[in-house]
C-alpha cells in the first residue's frame, strides 16, 4: 500500500543532439533509482529541448518537427523503465496523429508496456501558436503499486476531470506541468492542492526550469516539484509531503501511503469524497468494486 515517487525539476538548456538529451534524462532516472523509487515524473513539454538542436541553417526546430523524435523518445524511456524496474511518467511529448498534434503524457511500465494520456484541456497559446488538439478521453492506469491518472498542467484546473479520475479508481494523480511565470505556476499549484482536498487523493506535480533561448514560448520557465496530500491529521498540515527549491535543478522524493487515503475517506476530520451531494450536482460513478471505501 506504499509507493515512493520522485518529481524531476528538469533543467532546460540548449543541446546539440538527441544523445545529449538522452544523457540528461538518464542522469535523473539513475538518481531516482538510487533512492529505490517506484514512479518518476518528468515535466510537461520537457522534450521541447530537442527543438534547440536546430537545423542545418542553425535555426531552432519548430513544433511540427518535434514528433519526428517520437520513436527515439519512446525507445529511450522504454529502455530506462525496463532496466531500472521503475514506472516512468515521461512528462509529455508532442505526437502527430492523423495530421494533428497532441500533447501526450506517457507512462512507461517496467515490463515494457507504454500507455498514453493526451492533454484534455488546451491553453490558448497551445491552440493559437502551436495548433494543438485536445484529447477526447480520460483513462486511469492500473499498476502493481496502485491506480493512477495522468492529467497535464491546465487539466488540473478543472475539478470535473479529477473527480472523474477518482471515480474511476485513481488514488494518485501525476501532473506534469510547464509554466513560464509565477502566475501560471501558482495557478497550477493551488489547483493541485484543491484537487487533493476535494477528492482525498495524492497529487504529484513538477515543472520545467531553465530556458531555451532559441525556442519560442520556451524562453521562460518557472517550476517546482511537489508531492501534495489532503489536509488532514495523518498528513502534513499544509498538505505538502515534499517540495523542491524553486527553479533549481533537482529531484524531489517522498513516500505515499495509500492506506492513509482510505482511512481519511472513511473517518477523517472531513470526508469530502463520501459527503459530496450527488442529489444536487452530477457525479461520475465508478463500478462498485472501484469505489474506494
> Could you list the active site residues?
44, 119, 153
Query: For residues 64 and 127, what is the distance between their CA atoms, to the nearest angstrom?
Result: 13
- Report the helix count and the strand count for the chain, using DSSP H and E: 6, 15
Question: Closest by alpha carbon to 244, among 221, 231, 227?
Answer: 227
Provide the grid cell at 127.
491552440
* Contact assessment for residue 224 and residue 7, using Cβ atoms and an 8 Å cutoff: no
* Cell, residue 85: 524496474
Q: How far apart are CA 78 and CA 111, in angstroms?
A: 9
Cβ–Cβ < 8 Å for 96, 67: yes
Amino acid at each position: 500500500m506504499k509507493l515512493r515517487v520522485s518529481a524531476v525539476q528538469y533543467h532546460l538548456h540548449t543541446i546539440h543532439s538527441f544523445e545529449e538529451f538522452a544523457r540528461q534524462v538518464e542522469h535523473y532516472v539513475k538518481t531516482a533509482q538510487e533512492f529505490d523509487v517506484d514512479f518518476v515524473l518528468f515535466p510537461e513539454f520537457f522534450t521541447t529541448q530537442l527543438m534547440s538542436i536546430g537545423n542545418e541553417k542553425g535555426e531552432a526546430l519548430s513544433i511540427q518537427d518535434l514528433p519526428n523524435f517520437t520513436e527515439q523518445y519512446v525507445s529511450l524511456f522504454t529502455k530506462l523503465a525496463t532496466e531500472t524496474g521503475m514506472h516512468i511518467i515521461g512528462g509529455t511529448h508532442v505526437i502527430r496523429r492523423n495530421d494533428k498534434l497532441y500533447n501526450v503524457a506517457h507512462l512507461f511500465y517496467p515490463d515494457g508496456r507504454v500507455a498514453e494520456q493526451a492533454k484534455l484541456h488546451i491553453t490558448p497559446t497551445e491552440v493559437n501558436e502551436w495548433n494543438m488538439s485536445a484529447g477526447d478521453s480520460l483513462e486511469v492506469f492500473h499498476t502493481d503499486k496502485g491506480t493512477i491518472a495522468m492529467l497535464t498542467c491546465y487539466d488540473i484546473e478543472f475539478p470535473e476531470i479529477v473527480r472523474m479520475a477518482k471515480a474511476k479508481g485513481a488514488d494518485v494523480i501525476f501532473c506534469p506541468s510547464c509554466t513560464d511565470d509565477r502566475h501560471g505556476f501558482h495557478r497550477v499549484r493551488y489547483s493541485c492542492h484543491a484537487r487533493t482536498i476535494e477528492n482525498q487523493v495524492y497529487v504529484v506535480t513538477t515543472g520545467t526550469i531553465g530556458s531555451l533561448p532559441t525556442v519560442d514560448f520556451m524562453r521562460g520557465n518557472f517550476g517546482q516539484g511537489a508531492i501534495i496530500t489532503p489536509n488532514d491529521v495523518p498528513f502534513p498540515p499544509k498538505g505538502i509531503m515534499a517540495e523542491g527549491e524553486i527553479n533549481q535543478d533537482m529531484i524531489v522524493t517522498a513516500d505515499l501511503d495509500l492506506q492513509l487515503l482510505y482511512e481519511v475517506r472513511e473517518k477523517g476530520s472531513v470526508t469530502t469524497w463520501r459527503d459530496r451531494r450527488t442529489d444536487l450536482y452530477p457525479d461520475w460513478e465508478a463500478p462498485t468494486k472501484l469505489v474506494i471505501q
